[in-house]
Amino acid sequence: MGLYERIIGKEEKVALVGLGYVGMPIAVAFAKKIDVIGFDLNKEKVNLYKNGIDPTKEVGDKVIGDTTVMFTSDENDLDKAKFFIVAVPTPVNDDHTPDLTPVEGASQIVGRHLSSGSVVVFESTVYPGVTEEICVPILERESGLVCGKDFKVGYSPERINPGDKIHRLETITKIVSGMDDETLDAVAKVYELVVDAGVHRAESIRVAEAAKVIENSQRDINIAFMNELSIIFNKMGIDTKAVLEAAGTKWNFLNFRPGLVGGHCIGVDPYYLTYKAEELGYHSQIILSGRRINDDMGKYVAENLVKNLIRADKRVRDARVALLGFTFKENCPDTRNTRVIDIVNELREYGIHPLIADPVADAEEAKREYDIAFTDFGSIHDMDAVIIAVAHDEFLGMSKKSLSGLYKDGERKVLLDIKGVLDKKEYGEDGYLYWRF
Sheet order of strands, 432-435 included: 355-357, 321-324, 385-388, 413-417, 432-435
Q: What angle do CA 145, 151, 152 make, to 5 degrees?
A: 135
Amino acid 256 reads F
Active site residues: 265
Beta carbons of 171 and 141 less than 8 angstroms apart = no
- Of 87, 128, 90, nearest to 110 by C-alpha is 87
User: What is the C-alpha to C-alpha distance for residues 37 and 167, in angstroms, rounded to an integer?
Assistant: 24
CB-side neighbour CA atoms (13 Å) of 365: 18
* Helix/strand/coil for 207: helix
Rounded to 10 deg, the angle between the 286-295 and 205-236 helix axes is: 50
CA 243 vs CA 230, 232, 237: distances in Å: 10, 12, 12
Cβ-proximal residues to 232 (8 Å cutoff; 6+ apart), any chain: none
